[in-house]
Amino acid sequence: MADVLDQSEIDALLSAIDSGDLDKQSEAAPGRPGKVAPDVRTYDFKRPERVSKDQMRALEAIHEGFARNFGASLAGFMRTIVDIRVATTEQLTYSEFIHSLPNPTCFHLLVAPPLEGQMCLEISPLIIYPIIDRLMGGSNAEMFVPQRPLTTIELRLVRRITDRALENLTEVWSNLVEARFELTETESNPHLVQINAPNEVVVVIGFELKMGARAGTMSLCIPFNVIEPVMSRLATQSWLAYRRKAVSADQLKRLSSNLCQSAVRMRAFLGQTNISLSDLLELAPGDIIKTVKPAASELILQVEGKNKFAGRLGQFKGKRALQITRPARSDERL
């Protein structure tokens, strides 16, 4: 915690700024009076940063929403507390990403039309086997994590997890692009999958999954050429907080104006009764239909099939009319 300046120190700083002494001291490089320190930053040509920091923060904000939604979906499906959060967001080369994964692992290939190319979703065996054990009725207590590929039955169980992940990815990405995530292939050895050139840049979003005492990781690998067509949208929109914005007064006014011009269907009901089909076929002009509703009672006015108002039947300027007397209950009998 920095020390709090007293009034005398603040006055001394202000006087130094006015005299120009402070500017000269700040511009001089340490050990070289009068020399301005150059702004030097290292750049690795093997790992070019093709995604700006603002765009990386935007992608992180989008997938924080995915982590919350996916965690809630898994918690309801597995009937246990599942905590998912974004742990890392970084740019790597595809070869670096592949070599950072265990072998075997749960490696899924994804597509998201209309985006071109493939993405990767990897779930660590440290958490995928406890999830499978939970789905099979186990307790996850001191469970041994086998070092082998998933069996056919285990893959079918994992598919129920990945389907929920893809639904939530589609939902959060809908604010960026109307793309639907789909699973195309599942592999256990990530080194056998080449969706991109080894030296091409990919954006890797790492998640941390916790379920009880068990924890593991999940990684979403997005090649740059897949999201390149929509990168401009990340730069032009505010994604620093993934939440629905409050509706402004102008938006409310515009929505109200548009709604006032909408057409709705209204129907007034005189009453209800039951008759046989034969009586219905024999009805003719002048016949009387008996109802249980008193003649002096109010009529119910429905708007789009729902009870809205009650009123009395009358006549206005030579036409039948209904005078509104009160709001109607939703369960009120017609």
Q: What is the pLDDT of residue 235?
A: 63
- Render pLDDT for 9-65 as a digit per residue (tens, 0 to 9): 777 777 777 666 655 555 544 555 555 566 676 666 655 567 888 888 888 989 999
Is residue 58 a contact partner of residue 227, using CB atoms and an 8 Å limit? no
Within-domain flag for 181? yes
pLDDT at 280 over 50: yes
Q: What is the pLDDT of residue 242?
A: 44
For residue 70, which of 214, 173, 139, 192 has the smallest C-alpha distance?
Answer: 173
- If asked whether residues 151 and 210 sit together in one domain, one would say yes
pLDDT at 194 over 60: yes
pLDDT at 243 over 50: no
Residue 79 sits at φ, ψ, to 5 deg, of 55, 45
- If asked whether residues 134 and 223 sit together in one domain, one would say yes
- If asked whether residues 87 and 194 sit together in one domain, one would say yes
Q: Confidence class of residue 159 from pLDDT cuts 50, 70 and 90?
A: very high
Q: What is the pLDDT of residue 111?
A: 93
Residues 6+ apart with CB under 8 A from 123: 105, 106, 108, 158, 161, 162, 209, 216, 217, 218
- If asked whether residues 270 and 231 sit together in one domain, one would say no
Q: Confidence class of residue 107 from pLDDT cuts 50, 70 and 90?
A: very high
- If asked whether residues 119 and 206 sit together in one domain, one would say yes
- If asked whether residues 179 and 76 sit together in one domain, one would say yes
Q: What is the pLDDT of residue 20?
A: 63
- If asked whether residues 125 and 231 sit together in one domain, one would say yes
Distances (CA, A) of 295 to 118, 290, 327: 70, 11, 20
- If asked whether residues 192 and 332 sit together in one domain, one would say no
Q: Give the lowest-confidence range in 41-45, 71-75, 236-240.
A: 236-240
Q: What is the pLDDT of residue 161?
A: 92
- If asked whether residues 136 and 182 sit together in one domain, one would say yes
Within-domain flag for 33? no
> For the residues 78-88, what does the mean pLDDT come to?
90
* Mean pLDDT score of the chain: 82
- Render pLDDT for 284-323 as a digit per residue (tens, 0 to 9): 888 888 887 777 788 888 888 888 888 888 888 888 888 8
pLDDT at 141 over 80: no
Q: Give the lowest-confidence range in 130-134, 196-200, 237-241.
A: 237-241
Cα–Cα dist 110/219, whole Å: 13
Within-domain flag for 225? yes
Domain count, the chain: 2
Structure token pair of residue 105:
């692992």
Q: Is the dihedral of CA 166, 171, 173, 177 positive or negative?
A: positive
Residue 109: give its domain's CATH number: 3.40.1550.10
Within-domain flag for 256? no
Q: What is the pLDDT of residue 71?
A: 92
Q: What is the pLDDT of residue 69?
A: 92
- If asked whether residues 313 and 208 sit together in one domain, one would say no
- Structural domain boundaries enclosing 203: 53-236
